[in-house]
Amino acid sequence: MKKILILALISCLSVTMISAQPKHRGSKRKGEPTPEMREKMDAYRVAFITEKLDLTAAEAQEFWPIFNEREKRIHTLKKERRKNKKDSDFDKLTDAEIQAMIDSHFDFKQQELDTEREYAAKFAKALPMQKVIMLHHVEHEFRRKILKEYRRRQ
């Protein structure tokens, strides 16, 4: 009961803090959240996932370091992809250049898939399998909820 109350309080506070934030001032790219907003969304995500997966204290202690490690790895992959991505006029590219872009895209997707597979195995050591399979759905639900809120504010 105490755990549920704490999670509910964290969720309410996180939603309140997110909704009280000004719109994307100081961010580098259009639509990118500010560092303060990112921190609050991360806190809300922790509360959301913890609640939806019904993590015990012991499970959470093992789960969150693995989750955060995976997030950093995925973020690094995406950052590297953005850095190497060419914003080109496709009409001016040769077939070889287009093929190289397609190959690069699939290489990135494979690295992302390999990372997800690796971390699924790590999650399986920290959580029951039912919670491991639920994680993907809970993350998707969280993203939908955040996007819905973002669109509502637009």
Contact 138, 53 (CB under 8 A): yes
Give residue 82's pLDDT band: very low, low, confident or very high (50, 70, 90): confident
Taking alpha carbons only, the member of 45, 52, 15 closest to residue 153 is 15
pLDDT, tens digit, 9 for 90 and up, residues 46-61 = 999 999 999 999 999 9
pLDDT at 7 over 90: no
Question: What's the gap between Cα 28 and its chain centre?
Answer: 19
User: Which residues, 6+ apart, have CB-to-CB distance to 74 below 8 Å?
Assistant: 112, 115
48, with CB counted inside 10 A (0-12, 13-18, 19+), is buried
Q: What's the pLDDT at 3?
A: 55
Mean pLDDT, all residues of the chain:
83
pLDDT more than 70, % of the chain = 78
| Local confidence band at 94 (pLDDT 50, 70, 90 cut-offs) | confident
- pLDDT at residue number 87: 66
* pLDDT for 51: 96
Of 48, 76, 58, 74, whose CA–CA distance to 134 is shortest? 48
Check residue 31 and give its pLDDT: 64
Whether the full predicted model's pTM is greater than 0.85, yes or no, is: no
- Tens digit of pLDDT for each residue in 95-136? 898 898 889 899 999 999 999 999 999 999 999 999 999 999
Give the 3-state DSSP-derived string for 11-69, with helices as H, strands as E and coil as C.
HHHHHHHHHCCCCCCCCCCCCCCCHHHHHHHHHHHHHHHHHHHCCCHHHHHHHHHHHHH
Question: Do residues 143 and 41 lie in contact, with contact meaning Cβ atoms separated by under 8 Å?
Answer: no
Residue 148 scores a pLDDT above 70: yes
Q: Decide if pLDDT at 26 tops 60.
A: no
| Residue 9 predicted with pLDDT over 50 | no
